[in-house]
């Protein structure tokens, strides 16, 4: 019989590079090895060194492939090329581009290496000094377990077996203490103080020791494991480690704990990603919901920075939910009887066409010499992609720059050095006189954004040494007017619009659910279009907004009535719209995810039936109404800001100018004219009795 061949283990380029030998004294590989020896001397964590070694290995491998062997060959342009290489690199597991946060991590390790080279005087200048990172925000955990789900997972263990008791003790400790799996892996028997209900974590993350409280229930399961399992089934165990395999040996790695917890989550049929960290999240969110201060939760979790713990304050939003319940008009209405057993219509409404690739304007396809305005503008737009700017922002900037560059081309201005403040002032006058497609003058906001795009473009040229000074630096931007929402519906008008969809039809139920979610949560149309099924938490009555405006996550409350219509849509309408599995929450008549523009068209149709013919901001009408109505009912502005996802409270303050019920009341009670109403009315009656004045 032929011998079985074992598959060769995959070795990544970042691992292979360290096996190479470099005889060059200032070779980049030799210096990198010295860097890690220095980290060991400085008592850096083994896990930190392992992670840095892997990430820096990719940079070294890329340098060798690009024939960069000496450290003096690396400059700022080479670092920028490596950044472009990272943006095009694919993940091995997901077969997709690596995330911007991962790219930041890889760049950060390279920058740390070059800072060390400068301190050790191997190089004079830091080539990474001006490297720009992608904008990053702390992401909220997409999948979290509530208290009932945790109990369901814990109850999956078979307590008639030694393995089941051990696994129950493992999960009870993780849930009670919020330990990381690596901290549990290194936990020893002498680290337990069961009499006081404490666990001593030795050299946790950041090599920090800390004491963590352990709950009474977890202590009982630990005692049961120590007495009935560890002391009996593992009598010959010489290991001092707390949790052992059934053979009496220490686990090979923390990954084994991941497998154990994941097994029981799958058995419980809970379709949420994660393992040990799900119990850590559940512990933190549960304590905050129970009234624990964020400082105490921070100490339990071992976070060095309070901002890391603050993500759980956005997951647990009891105050925000209470304000929403007390002030949102829809929360005061009676529960509705919703129609059931609907059938799908033959004609789908508002199909979502396939996403088309962005059309490139012929202007950008024209060939022009290098280092002229247009090629440099293309490099600037590529630079914006590397900085993590949104595609929508880049598209708008491309349009503004094209307008400016076409204006320059018509006047035979092709090189950036020919642009000065006088030229920019002439262009500003041109935009002031320019008309849009409707024959109207450009708005102040458009003209302002146009000059901001030009300013950013020339700032980039200065940074890249194409210009010595920025000609747009001293250009004054036009003052933007502070607008307030033009159409703010009353609660009664909103109810009329909500009742417009025919809820005896499949698409009518869907449309009503869309309206209810818009009005209850105040989310933007893009945020609603991007919602997936897992983002709705019916148990906690919340919605997770992932990658909202500014790449920020937030969790916001949703009213009971909106959840009722969502439930009806998911059970009665959505299965008829599409039989295929789709992650997105709302689907078009063709069973595909909505585009934001399609949502606007859908709502605009109903607004026209209502008699409102606004051409802009159809979806925002519900957002404005929700914010105004809650403010009128007494909600604090900071809660409205949190729900709407505004980074600045000044943006939310526009609704205080719309919601003027209190101002009207104060005006009626305090204005001096109210002190003399009788005399004023008498004069008016006397004037009415006189003959009308004759025309001269």
Instruction: Report the C-alpha gap between 105 and 134 in whole angstroms.
Output: 10
- 532: its two tokens: 């997936």
Asked if pLDDT for residue 542 goes beyond 80, the answer is: yes
d(CA 631, CA 322): 14
Tell me, yes or no, if 85 is annotated catalytic: no
Percent of the chain whose pLDDT exceeds 90: 27
Q: Which pLDDT score is estimated for 221?
A: 93
* pLDDT of 671 over the 70 cut: no
Q: What does the alpha-carbon distance between residue 658 and residue 240 come to, in Å, rounded to a whole number?
A: 67
Is residue 524 flagged as an active site residue?
yes
Q: pLDDT digits over 138-149, tens only?
A: 677 777 888 889
pLDDT in tens, 614-663: 656 788 889 988 988 888 888 888 888 889 988 888 888 777 666 666 66
Predicted confidence (pLDDT) per residue in 475-530, tens digit: 888 777 666 666 678 889 999 999 999 999 999 999 999 999 999 999 999 999 99
Q: Which residues contact 15 (CB under 8 A, 6 or more apart)?
A: 54, 57
412 pLDDT more than 60: yes
pLDDT surpassing 90 at residue 569 = yes
To the query of whether residue 72 is one of the catalytic residues in this protein, the response is no
Where would I find the beta strands (DSSP E) of 510-622? 536-537, 542-545, 554-557
Q: Residue range 298-303: average pLDDT?
A: 87
pLDDT digits (tens, 9 = 90+) for 386-407: 777 777 888 899 999 999 999 9
Residue 614 tokens, joined: 């606004």
**230-239, 292-301, 457-466, 478-487: which has the minimum mean pLDDT?**
230-239
3-state SS assignment for residue 587: strand
- What was the pLDDT predicted at 31? 92
Q: Is the Cβ–Cβ distance between 237 and 248 less than 8 Å? A: yes
Catalytic residue among 83, 546, 623, 629: 623
Mean pLDDT comparison of 242-256, 296-310, 490-504, highest-scoring range: 490-504
Is 623 an active-site residue?
yes
Higher per-residue pLDDT: 658 or 30: 30
* Whether the predicted pLDDT of 545 surpasses 60: yes
* pLDDT tier, 311 (very low <50, low <70, confident <90, very high otherwise): confident
Q: For position 113, what pLDDT does the model report?
A: 93
Q: What is the mean pLDDT of residues 65-91?
A: 87
Say how far apart CA 16 and CA 129 lie, in whole Å: 28
CB 268 within 8 A of CB 299: no
The question of whether 646 is a catalytic residue gets the answer yes
pLDDT of residue 676: 60
Residue 322 in this model has a pLDDT that exceeds 70: yes
The answer, yes or no, to whether residue 309 has pLDDT greater than 90, is: no
- Under DSSP, the state recorded for 48 is H
Q: Mind listing the pLDDT tens digit for each residue in 109-131?
A: 999 999 999 998 888 888 888 78
Annotated catalytic residue, options 620, 624, 629, 639: 620
* List 76, 344, 466, 549, catalytic entry: 549
Chain centre distance of CA 147? 25
From 53, 524, 554, 595, the catalytic residue: 524
Q: Can you give the pLDDT at residue 513?
A: 95
pLDDT for position 664 = 66
**Overall residue count recorded for the chain in this entry:** 696
In the predicted model, what is the mean pLDDT of the chain?
Answer: 83
Cβ(401)–Cβ(453) below 8 Å: yes
Strand-pair partners of 177: none
For residue 274, is pLDDT > 60? yes
Q: CB–CB of 90/103 below 8 Å?
A: no
Provide the pLDDT for residue 615. Answer: 55
Q: Closest Cα partner for 251 from 159, 184, 201?
A: 184
Angle made by CA atoms 337, 342, 345, in degrees to the nearest 5: 135
Higher pLDDT, 598 or 696: 598
The dihedral of CA 532, 537, 543, 544: what is its sign? negative
Q: Which of 53, 281, 328, 646 is catalytic?
A: 646
State phi, psi for 485 to the nearest 5 degrees: -55, 130
Q: What is the pLDDT of residue 619?
A: 86
Which pLDDT tens digit goes with each residue over 162-199?
999 999 999 999 999 999 998 999 899 899 988 888 99
- Overall pTM surpassing 0.85 (yes/no): no
Q: How high is the pLDDT of residue 313?
A: 67
**pLDDT value, residue 352:** 41
- Could you write out the DSSP letters of every residue in 338-387? PP-S----SS-SS--PPPPPPPPPHHHHS---TTSHHHHHHHHHHHHHHT
């Amino acid at each position: 019989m032929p011998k079985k061949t074992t598959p060769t283990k995959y070795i990544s380029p970042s691992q292979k590079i360290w096996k190479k030998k470099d005889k060059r004294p200032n070779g980049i590989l030799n210096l990198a090895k010295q860097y890690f020896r220095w980290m060991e001397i400085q008592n850096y964590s083994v896990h930190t060194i392992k992670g840095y070694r892997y990430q820096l290995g990719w940079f070294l491998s890329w340098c060798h492939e690009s024939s960069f062997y000496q450290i003096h060959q690396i400059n700022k342009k080479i670092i920028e090329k490596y950044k472009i290489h990272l943006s095009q690199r694919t993940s091995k597991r997901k077969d997709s581009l690596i995330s911007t946060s991962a790219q930041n991590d890889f760049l950060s390790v390279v920058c740390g290496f070059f800072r060390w080279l400068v301190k050790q005087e191997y190089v004079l200048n830091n080539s990474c000094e001006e490297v720009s990172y992608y904008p990053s925000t702390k992401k909220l955990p997409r999948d979290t377990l509530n208290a009932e789900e945790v109990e369901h997972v814990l109850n999956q263990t078979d307590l008639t077996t030694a393995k089941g008791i051990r696994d129950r003790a493992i999960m009870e400790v993780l849930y009670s203490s919020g330990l990381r799996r690596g901290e549990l892996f290194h936990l020893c028997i002498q680290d337990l103080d069961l009499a006081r209900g404490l666990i001593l974590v030795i050299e946790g993350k950041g090599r920090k020791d800390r004491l963590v409280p352990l709950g009474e229930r977890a202590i009982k399961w630990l005692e049961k494991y120590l007495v009935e399992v560890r002391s009996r089934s593992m009598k010959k165990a010489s290991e001092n480690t707390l949790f052992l395999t059934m053979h009496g040996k220490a686990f090979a790695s923390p990954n084994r704990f991941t497998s154990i917890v994941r097994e029981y989550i799958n058995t419980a049929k809970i379709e949420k990603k994660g393992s040990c960290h799900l119990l850590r999240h559940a512990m933190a969110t549960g304590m905050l919901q129970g009234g624990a201060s964020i400082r105490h939760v921070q100490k339990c979790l071992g976070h060095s920075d309070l901002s890391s713990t603050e993500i759980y304050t956005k997951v647990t939003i009891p105050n925000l939910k209470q304000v929403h319940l007390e002030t949102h008009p829809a929360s005061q209405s009676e529960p509705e009887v919703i129609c059931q057993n609907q059938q799908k219509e033959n004609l789908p409404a508002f199909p979502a066409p396939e996403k088309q690739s962005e059309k490139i304007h012929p202007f950008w396809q024209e060939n022009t010499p290098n280092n002229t305005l247009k090629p440099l503008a293309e490099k600037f737009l590529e630079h914006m992609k590397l900085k993590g700017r949104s595609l929508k922002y880049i598209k708008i900037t491309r349009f503004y720059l094209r307008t400016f560059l076409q204006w320059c081309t018509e006047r035979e201005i092709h090189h950036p050095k020919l642009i000065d403040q006088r030229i920019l002032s002439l262009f500003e006058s041109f935009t002031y006189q320019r008309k849009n497609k409707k024959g109207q003058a450009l708005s102040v906001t458009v003209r302002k954004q146009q000059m901001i795009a030009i300013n950013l473009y020339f700032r980039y040229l200065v940074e890249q040494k194409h210009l010595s000074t920025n000609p747009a630096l001293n250009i004054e931007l036009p003052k933007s007017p502070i607008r307030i929402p033009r159409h703010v519906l009353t609660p009664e008008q909103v109810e009329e619009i909500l009742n417009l969809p025919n809820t005896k039809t499949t698409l009518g139920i869907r449309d009503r659910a869309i309206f209810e979610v818009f009005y209850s949560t105040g989310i933007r149309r893009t945020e609603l279009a991007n919602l997936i099924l897992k983002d709705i938490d019916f148990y906690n009555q919340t919605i997770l907004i992932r990658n909202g405006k500014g790449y920020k996550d937030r969790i916001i409350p949703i009213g009971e009535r909106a959840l009722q219509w969502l439930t009806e849509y998911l059970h009665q309408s959505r299965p008829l719209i599409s039989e295929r599995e789709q992650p997105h929450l709302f689907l078009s008549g063709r069973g595909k995810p909505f585009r934001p523009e399609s949502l606007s068209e859908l709502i605009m149709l109903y607004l026209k039936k209502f008699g409102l013919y606004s051409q802009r901001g159809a979806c925002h009408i519900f957002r404005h109404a929700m914010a105004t109505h809650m403010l009128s009912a007494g909600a604090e502005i900071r809660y409205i800001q949190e729900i709407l996802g505004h980074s600045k409270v000044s943006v939310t303050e526009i609704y205080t100018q719309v919601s003027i019920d209190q101002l009207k009341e104060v005006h009626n009670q305090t204005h001096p004219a109210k002190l003399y109403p009788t005399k004023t009315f008498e004069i008016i009656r006397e004037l009415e009795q006189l003959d009308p004045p004759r025309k001269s």
